[in-house]
Structure 1
Amino acid sequence: MRTISNDVAVRLYHLDDEGGVATTLLYGSLAEALAAAAAQPEDMQPGLYLQTSNDVVAYLDLIEG
């Protein structure tokens, strides 16, 4: 993901690995999305993604660096 600030607008969504259904959990700032993602159950976190206007990154890839 490109370098961005905590205030950039993002979409946090969960991608279901069985049916490929994307469920939006939050539209908000990166800081809000990271907090919301961290609050999700651990078994759900591998399916979480953050989307900006020009990029998508898996939540776990972002926090694990």
Structure 2
Amino acid sequence: MRTVSDDVAVRLYHLDEEGGAAITLLYGSLAEALAAAAAQPEELQAGLYLQTSNDVVAYLDFLEG
């Protein structure tokens, strides 16, 4: 993910592997999205993605750096 500022606008969404549906959980800052993602159950975190205006990254990949 190219953007690293906590204030950047992001969309946090869950991608359902079975149905392929993307369910938006939050539109907000990166800091808000990371807090919301961390509050989700572990089994749900594997399907979470962070999207900016120019990039998309899996939440768990973002945490690994």
TM-score by length of 1: 0.97
How far the C-alpha of 1:3 sits from its partner, in A, is 3.5
Say which SS state the counterpart of residue 44 (structure 1) adopts: helix
Measured in 2, the distance between the counterparts of 1:16 and 1:51 equals 16
Question: Hey, what does 2:11 align to over in structure 1?
Answer: 11
Gapped regions of structure 2 (runs ≥ 5): none
Secondary structure (helix, strand or coil) at the match of 1:11 reads strand
What is the TM-score normalised by the length of structure 2? 0.97
Runs of 4+ in structure 1 deviating by more than 2 angstroms, as ranges, are none
Stretches of structure 1 lacking an aligned partner (at least 5 in a row): none
Percent pairwise identity: 85
Pairwise CA RMSD: 0.6
1:64: Cα distance to partner? Answer: 1.4
